Amino acid sequence: MGDLAVKVAGLTHRYGERVALHELNFHVNAGEIVALLGPNGSGKTTLFRVLSTIMRPQDGLAEIYGLNVAGSRNEVRRLLGVVFQNPSLDKELTAEENLRYHGHLFGLGGAELESRIKDLLGRVDLLDRAGERVKSFSGGMRRRVEIAKGLINRPRLLLLDEPSTGLDPVARADVWRYLSEVRQRDGVTVLMTTHLMDEADRCDRVTILDAGRMVADGSPATLKENVGGDVILLTTSDPEKARALLQQKLNIDTVEVSGRTLRFERPRGHELVPAVIEAITGLADSIAVGKPTLEDVFIRATGHEFNSSV
Protein backbone atom coordinates (compact mmCIF):
# COMPACT_ATOMS: atom_id res chain seq x y z
CA MET A 1 0.00 0.00 0.00
CA GLY A 2 2.99 2.28 -0.21
CA ASP A 3 5.14 3.90 2.43
CA LEU A 4 5.06 2.80 6.03
CA ALA A 5 3.28 5.34 8.20
CA VAL A 6 4.23 3.50 11.40
CA LYS A 7 6.98 1.00 12.06
CA VAL A 8 7.50 -0.61 15.46
CA ALA A 9 10.30 -3.12 15.96
CA GLY A 10 11.26 -4.86 19.20
CA LEU A 11 9.47 -2.22 21.28
CA THR A 12 9.63 -2.94 25.00
CA HIS A 13 8.43 -0.82 27.90
CA ARG A 14 8.24 -1.59 31.61
CA TYR A 15 6.61 0.00 34.62
CA GLY A 16 8.80 -1.33 37.40
CA GLU A 17 8.46 -5.11 37.28
CA ARG A 18 5.43 -5.04 34.98
CA VAL A 19 6.12 -5.38 31.27
CA ALA A 20 3.60 -3.23 29.36
CA LEU A 21 5.08 -3.90 25.90
CA HIS A 22 7.16 -6.98 25.15
CA GLU A 23 9.33 -6.87 22.00
CA LEU A 24 6.38 -5.61 19.97
CA ASN A 25 6.61 -5.62 16.17
CA PHE A 26 3.95 -4.16 13.91
CA HIS A 27 3.40 -1.63 11.14
CA VAL A 28 0.78 0.61 9.56
CA ASN A 29 0.77 1.24 5.82
CA ALA A 30 0.16 4.76 4.57
CA GLY A 31 -3.52 5.30 3.85
CA GLU A 32 -4.79 2.51 6.10
CA ILE A 33 -7.25 2.71 8.97
CA VAL A 34 -5.89 0.34 11.59
CA ALA A 35 -7.22 -0.60 15.02
CA LEU A 36 -5.11 -1.62 18.00
CA LEU A 37 -7.61 -3.90 19.71
CA GLY A 38 -7.15 -5.16 23.23
CA PRO A 39 -8.61 -5.22 26.74
CA ASN A 40 -7.40 -3.06 29.60
CA GLY A 41 -3.77 -3.82 30.36
CA SER A 42 -2.97 -5.06 26.86
CA GLY A 43 -0.45 -2.27 26.17
CA LYS A 44 -2.58 -0.13 23.85
CA THR A 45 -2.28 3.06 25.89
CA THR A 46 1.47 2.68 26.42
CA LEU A 47 1.98 2.21 22.68
CA PHE A 48 -0.21 5.25 21.99
CA ARG A 49 1.89 7.36 24.33
CA VAL A 50 5.09 6.24 22.64
CA LEU A 51 3.81 6.92 19.12
CA SER A 52 2.41 10.33 20.11
CA THR A 53 5.87 11.23 21.54
CA ILE A 54 4.53 11.66 25.09
CA MET A 55 6.70 8.78 26.31
CA ARG A 56 10.16 7.74 25.14
CA PRO A 57 10.51 4.03 24.33
CA GLN A 58 12.85 2.19 26.68
CA ASP A 59 13.95 -0.45 24.19
CA GLY A 60 13.34 -1.03 20.50
CA LEU A 61 12.37 1.22 17.62
CA ALA A 62 9.30 3.29 16.81
CA GLU A 63 9.14 5.35 13.61
CA ILE A 64 6.55 7.65 12.04
CA TYR A 65 7.10 7.98 8.28
CA GLY A 66 10.72 6.99 8.76
CA LEU A 67 11.37 9.42 11.63
CA ASN A 68 12.44 8.01 15.00
CA VAL A 69 9.94 9.14 17.63
CA ALA A 70 12.68 9.32 20.26
CA GLY A 71 15.25 11.24 18.26
CA SER A 72 13.03 13.44 16.07
CA ARG A 73 10.16 14.37 18.37
CA ASN A 74 9.51 17.85 16.96
CA GLU A 75 9.55 16.65 13.35
CA VAL A 76 7.27 13.72 14.22
CA ARG A 77 4.78 15.98 15.98
CA ARG A 78 4.34 18.03 12.81
CA LEU A 79 3.14 14.87 11.07
CA LEU A 80 0.65 13.92 13.80
CA GLY A 81 -2.89 14.74 14.72
CA VAL A 82 -3.78 13.33 18.15
CA VAL A 83 -7.19 12.78 19.75
CA PHE A 84 -6.86 11.62 23.35
CA GLN A 85 -9.36 9.48 25.21
CA ASN A 86 -9.76 12.11 27.89
CA PRO A 87 -11.17 15.41 26.54
CA SER A 88 -8.54 18.09 25.92
CA LEU A 89 -10.89 20.94 25.01
CA ASP A 90 -11.28 24.14 27.00
CA LYS A 91 -14.99 24.06 27.80
CA GLU A 92 -15.11 27.80 28.44
CA LEU A 93 -13.96 28.53 24.89
CA THR A 94 -16.08 28.24 21.78
CA ALA A 95 -15.51 25.54 19.18
CA GLU A 96 -13.69 27.93 16.86
CA GLU A 97 -11.62 29.36 19.72
CA ASN A 98 -10.44 25.86 20.66
CA LEU A 99 -9.30 25.24 17.08
CA ARG A 100 -7.73 28.69 16.79
CA TYR A 101 -5.70 28.23 19.98
CA HIS A 102 -4.51 24.80 18.83
CA GLY A 103 -3.58 26.21 15.43
CA HIS A 104 -1.41 28.84 17.10
CA LEU A 105 0.60 26.03 18.71
CA PHE A 106 1.60 24.95 15.20
CA GLY A 107 2.51 28.49 14.17
CA LEU A 108 -0.66 28.97 12.12
CA GLY A 109 -2.49 32.27 11.92
CA GLY A 110 -4.28 34.82 9.79
CA ALA A 111 -6.51 33.97 6.87
CA GLU A 112 -4.97 30.50 6.45
CA LEU A 113 -5.91 29.44 9.98
CA GLU A 114 -9.40 30.95 9.75
CA SER A 115 -9.96 29.09 6.48
CA ARG A 116 -8.92 25.79 8.07
CA ILE A 117 -11.19 26.37 11.08
CA LYS A 118 -14.20 27.07 8.88
CA ASP A 119 -13.46 24.07 6.65
CA LEU A 120 -12.98 21.61 9.53
CA LEU A 121 -16.01 22.72 11.55
CA GLY A 122 -18.06 22.46 8.37
CA ARG A 123 -16.80 18.95 7.75
CA VAL A 124 -17.85 17.80 11.24
CA ASP A 125 -21.24 19.55 10.89
CA LEU A 126 -20.56 22.18 13.54
CA LEU A 127 -20.07 25.34 11.50
CA ASP A 128 -23.41 26.70 12.70
CA ARG A 129 -22.30 26.13 16.31
CA ALA A 130 -18.79 27.55 15.87
CA GLY A 131 -19.39 30.51 18.21
CA GLU A 132 -20.92 28.49 21.05
CA ARG A 133 -19.00 27.44 24.13
CA VAL A 134 -17.97 23.81 24.18
CA LYS A 135 -19.45 23.33 27.65
CA SER A 136 -22.93 23.47 26.08
CA PHE A 137 -22.11 20.64 23.63
CA SER A 138 -23.08 16.97 23.93
CA GLY A 139 -20.38 14.30 24.23
CA GLY A 140 -20.65 13.47 20.54
CA MET A 141 -20.33 17.13 19.52
CA ARG A 142 -17.26 17.56 21.72
CA ARG A 143 -15.66 14.51 20.14
CA ARG A 144 -16.28 16.05 16.72
CA VAL A 145 -14.51 19.23 17.85
CA GLU A 146 -11.63 17.05 19.10
CA ILE A 147 -11.31 15.44 15.66
CA ALA A 148 -11.39 18.82 13.92
CA LYS A 149 -8.75 20.07 16.34
CA GLY A 150 -6.56 17.04 15.61
CA LEU A 151 -6.69 17.86 11.90
CA ILE A 152 -5.91 21.59 12.14
CA ASN A 153 -2.24 21.05 11.21
CA ARG A 154 -3.16 18.78 8.27
CA PRO A 155 -1.40 15.72 9.66
CA ARG A 156 -0.32 12.68 7.68
CA LEU A 157 -1.17 10.37 10.60
CA LEU A 158 -4.15 10.72 12.93
CA LEU A 159 -3.83 8.91 16.28
CA LEU A 160 -7.02 8.31 18.26
CA ASP A 161 -7.18 6.80 21.74
CA GLU A 162 -10.55 5.06 22.26
CA PRO A 163 -12.40 7.56 20.02
CA SER A 164 -15.90 6.22 20.77
CA THR A 165 -15.66 5.95 24.55
CA GLY A 166 -18.80 7.29 26.21
CA LEU A 167 -20.63 7.96 22.95
CA ASP A 168 -24.06 6.67 21.98
CA PRO A 169 -24.44 4.57 18.79
CA VAL A 170 -25.49 7.55 16.65
CA ALA A 171 -22.50 9.65 17.78
CA ARG A 172 -20.17 6.70 17.22
CA ALA A 173 -21.47 6.30 13.67
CA ASP A 174 -20.88 10.03 13.07
CA VAL A 175 -17.29 9.77 14.29
CA TRP A 176 -16.64 6.87 11.93
CA ARG A 177 -18.13 8.78 9.00
CA TYR A 178 -15.76 11.69 9.61
CA LEU A 179 -12.75 9.37 9.88
CA SER A 180 -13.62 7.64 6.61
CA GLU A 181 -13.94 11.02 4.90
CA VAL A 182 -10.57 12.17 6.25
CA ARG A 183 -8.91 9.08 4.78
CA GLN A 184 -10.67 9.33 1.43
CA ARG A 185 -10.48 13.10 0.96
CA ASP A 186 -7.10 13.91 2.50
CA GLY A 187 -5.24 10.60 2.40
CA VAL A 188 -4.73 10.68 6.16
CA THR A 189 -3.62 7.44 7.78
CA VAL A 190 -5.63 6.57 10.89
CA LEU A 191 -4.44 4.48 13.85
CA MET A 192 -6.83 4.02 16.74
CA THR A 193 -6.83 2.13 20.00
CA THR A 194 -10.09 0.48 20.93
CA HIS A 195 -11.65 -2.22 23.08
CA LEU A 196 -14.83 -2.23 20.95
CA MET A 197 -15.18 -5.15 18.55
CA ASP A 198 -17.60 -3.42 16.19
CA GLU A 199 -15.29 -0.43 15.88
CA ALA A 200 -12.32 -2.64 15.02
CA ASP A 201 -14.50 -4.50 12.51
CA ARG A 202 -14.79 -1.32 10.44
CA CYS A 203 -11.03 -0.96 9.98
CA ASP A 204 -8.84 -2.13 7.11
CA ARG A 205 -6.66 -4.07 9.50
CA VAL A 206 -6.69 -5.06 13.17
CA THR A 207 -3.69 -5.65 15.40
CA ILE A 208 -4.77 -7.52 18.53
CA LEU A 209 -2.71 -7.00 21.68
CA ASP A 210 -2.70 -9.04 24.87
CA ALA A 211 -0.37 -8.47 27.83
CA GLY A 212 1.93 -6.31 25.72
CA ARG A 213 2.29 -8.78 22.86
CA MET A 214 0.80 -8.88 19.39
CA VAL A 215 -1.29 -12.06 19.17
CA ALA A 216 -3.01 -11.51 15.80
CA ASP A 217 -2.82 -9.14 12.85
CA GLY A 218 -4.77 -8.90 9.62
CA SER A 219 -7.98 -7.73 8.04
CA PRO A 220 -11.09 -8.43 10.16
CA ALA A 221 -12.41 -10.83 7.50
CA THR A 222 -9.15 -12.78 7.26
CA LEU A 223 -8.75 -13.04 11.02
CA LYS A 224 -12.26 -14.42 11.40
CA GLU A 225 -11.83 -16.85 8.52
CA ASN A 226 -8.73 -18.25 10.21
CA VAL A 227 -10.73 -19.21 13.30
CA GLY A 228 -12.13 -22.13 11.33
CA GLY A 229 -15.79 -22.97 10.94
CA ASP A 230 -18.72 -21.90 13.08
CA VAL A 231 -18.62 -21.11 16.78
CA ILE A 232 -20.91 -23.21 18.97
CA LEU A 233 -21.88 -21.90 22.40
CA LEU A 234 -23.50 -24.31 24.83
CA THR A 235 -24.78 -23.40 28.29
CA THR A 236 -25.23 -26.13 30.86
CA SER A 237 -25.57 -26.62 34.60
CA ASP A 238 -22.73 -29.17 34.58
CA PRO A 239 -20.02 -27.91 32.18
CA GLU A 240 -17.34 -30.42 33.16
CA LYS A 241 -19.63 -33.40 32.64
CA ALA A 242 -20.84 -31.97 29.34
CA ARG A 243 -17.27 -31.44 28.16
CA ALA A 244 -16.34 -35.02 29.07
CA LEU A 245 -19.34 -36.38 27.16
CA LEU A 246 -18.53 -34.31 24.07
CA GLN A 247 -14.99 -35.67 24.06
CA GLN A 248 -16.10 -39.26 24.72
CA LYS A 249 -19.00 -39.47 22.25
CA LEU A 250 -18.10 -36.94 19.53
CA ASN A 251 -14.30 -36.70 19.84
CA ILE A 252 -14.58 -32.95 20.46
CA ASP A 253 -11.50 -32.26 22.58
CA THR A 254 -10.99 -28.51 21.97
CA VAL A 255 -13.74 -27.19 24.24
CA GLU A 256 -13.21 -23.98 26.20
CA VAL A 257 -15.18 -23.54 29.42
CA SER A 258 -16.18 -20.19 30.92
CA GLY A 259 -18.59 -20.42 33.81
CA ARG A 260 -21.60 -22.38 32.56
CA THR A 261 -20.73 -21.86 28.88
CA LEU A 262 -18.85 -24.27 26.64
CA ARG A 263 -17.36 -22.96 23.40
CA PHE A 264 -15.94 -24.90 20.47
CA GLU A 265 -15.56 -24.52 16.71
CA ARG A 266 -16.67 -26.80 13.92
CA PRO A 267 -17.27 -26.43 10.17
CA ARG A 268 -21.00 -26.40 9.34
CA GLY A 269 -21.75 -26.19 13.03
CA HIS A 270 -25.54 -26.20 12.60
CA GLU A 271 -25.37 -29.77 11.31
CA LEU A 272 -23.68 -30.88 14.53
CA VAL A 273 -26.34 -29.47 16.89
CA PRO A 274 -28.60 -32.57 17.03
CA ALA A 275 -25.62 -34.82 17.78
CA VAL A 276 -24.41 -32.48 20.53
CA ILE A 277 -27.82 -32.41 22.20
CA GLU A 278 -28.06 -36.19 22.05
CA ALA A 279 -24.53 -36.66 23.40
CA ILE A 280 -25.27 -34.63 26.53
CA THR A 281 -28.92 -35.60 26.94
CA GLY A 282 -30.60 -33.52 29.62
CA LEU A 283 -27.61 -31.24 30.26
CA ALA A 284 -28.12 -28.57 27.60
CA ASP A 285 -29.84 -25.37 28.74
CA SER A 286 -29.24 -23.58 25.42
CA ILE A 287 -27.16 -23.91 22.30
CA ALA A 288 -26.30 -21.32 19.67
CA VAL A 289 -24.33 -21.40 16.43
CA GLY A 290 -22.75 -18.30 14.95
CA LYS A 291 -20.04 -17.04 12.63
CA PRO A 292 -16.69 -16.18 14.23
CA THR A 293 -16.22 -12.67 15.61
CA LEU A 294 -13.09 -10.74 16.53
CA GLU A 295 -13.68 -11.84 20.11
CA ASP A 296 -13.45 -15.43 18.90
CA VAL A 297 -10.17 -14.49 17.20
CA PHE A 298 -8.90 -13.14 20.53
CA ILE A 299 -9.99 -16.27 22.42
CA ARG A 300 -8.35 -18.52 19.83
CA ALA A 301 -5.10 -16.53 20.00
CA THR A 302 -4.88 -16.16 23.79
CA GLY A 303 -6.90 -19.00 25.30
CA HIS A 304 -8.95 -16.68 27.47
CA GLU A 305 -11.87 -14.29 27.17
CA PHE A 306 -11.39 -10.72 26.07
CA ASN A 307 -12.46 -9.18 29.39
CA SER A 308 -10.34 -11.47 31.54
CA SER A 309 -7.07 -9.62 30.89
CA VAL A 310 -5.77 -7.27 33.57
Domains along the chain with CATH numbers: 4-223 (3.40.50.300), 228-291 (3.30.70.260)
pLDDT at 40: 86
What is the Cα 130 distance to its own chain's centre?
A: 30
* Terminal Cα distance for the chain, rounded: 35
> What is the C-alpha to C-alpha distance for residues 160 and 200, in angstroms, rounded to an integer?
13
Name the residue among 208, 222, 218 with its Cα closest to residue 47: 208
- For residue 2, pLDDT over 60 is answered with no
- For residue 309, pLDDT over 70 is answered with no
pLDDT digits (tens, 9 = 90+) for 238-262: 999 999 999 999 999 888 898 999 9
In this structure, what is the dihedral angle of CA atoms 49, 94, 199, 309, given to the nearest 10 degrees? 40
Average pLDDT over residues 284-308: 87
pLDDT at 3: 86
pLDDT digits (tens, 9 = 90+) for 50-81: 999 999 989 999 999 999 999 999 999 999 99
- For residue 307, pLDDT over 80 is answered with no
- For residue 1, pLDDT over 90 is answered with no
pLDDT at 258: 87
Binned at pLDDT 50, 70 and 90, residue 99 comes out as very high
* HEC sequence for the chain: CCCEEEEEEEEEEEECCEEEEEEEEEEEECCCEEEEECCCCCCHHHHHHHHCCCCCCCEEEEEECCEECCCCHHHHHHHEEEECCCCCCCCCCEHHHHHHHHHHHCCCCHHHHHHHHHHHHHHCCCHHHCCCEHHHCCHHHHHHHHHHHHCCCCCCEEEEECCCCCCCHHHHHHHHHHHHHHHHHHCCEEEEEECCHHHHHCCCEEEEEECCEEEEEECHHHHHHCCCCEEEEEEECCHHHHHHHHHHHHCCCCCEEECCEEEEEECCHHHHHHHHHHHCCCCEEEEEEECCCHHHHHHHHHCCCHHHCC
Name the residue among 252, 249, 251 with its Cα closest to residue 262: 252
* Strand ranges of the sheet holding 205-210, from the earlier edge strand across to the other edge: 80-83, 157-161, 189-194, 33-37, 205-210, 213-218
- For residue 310, pLDDT over 50 is answered with no
pLDDT at 110: 96
Average pLDDT over residues 165-189: 88
pLDDT at 165: 78
pLDDT digits (tens, 9 = 90+) for 133-163: 999 999 999 999 999 999 999 999 999 998 8
137-158 b/e with 16+ CB inside 10 Å = b?
beebbbbbbbbbbbbbbebbbb
- Burial class of 207 by CB neighbour count within 10 A (0 to 12, 13 to 18, 19+): buried
